[in-house]
Amino acid sequence: EAGVVQSPRYKIIEKKQPVAFWCNPISGHNTLYWYRQNLGQGPELLIRYENEEAVDDSQLPKDRFSAERLKGVDSTLKIQPAELGDSAVYLCASSLSWDRVDEQYFGPGTRLTVT
């Protein structure tokens, strides 16, 4: 079974530039999560989708961050414009449903460096 796929794996951009991350969850997983992990910190949930609906985006900085999951499968997380403090690893995870938290599988992450 293929795991959660993320791309790109690494991205270096200058501040004020836009950037987008892509996630393909495990087939059949209805719940998709985007996390941000700063160096030396645990992951911080940015947004959670149940199918195509964003059900928890309270930690998403909405002035510059946006996300979509149009057909309830793949998802894109965008930052525009990027700031130096956005440098982090962006993790995508998926699970069968919102209550199957013990079966949440993480992707390899995208390491973003903003210069």
Distance CA(23)–CA(73), nearest Å, equals 9
CB 70, min distance to another protein, A: 22
Residue with tokens 């996630």: 23
Q: Which is nearer to another protein, 49 or 65 (CB)?
A: 49
| Cα end-to-end span (Å), the chain | 37
Q: Which is nearer to another protein, 17 or 105 (CB)?
A: 105
Using CB under 8 A, list all residues that contact another protein: 4, 33, 40-45, 48, 56, 91, 93, 98-99, 101-109
CB 36, min distance to another protein, A: 11
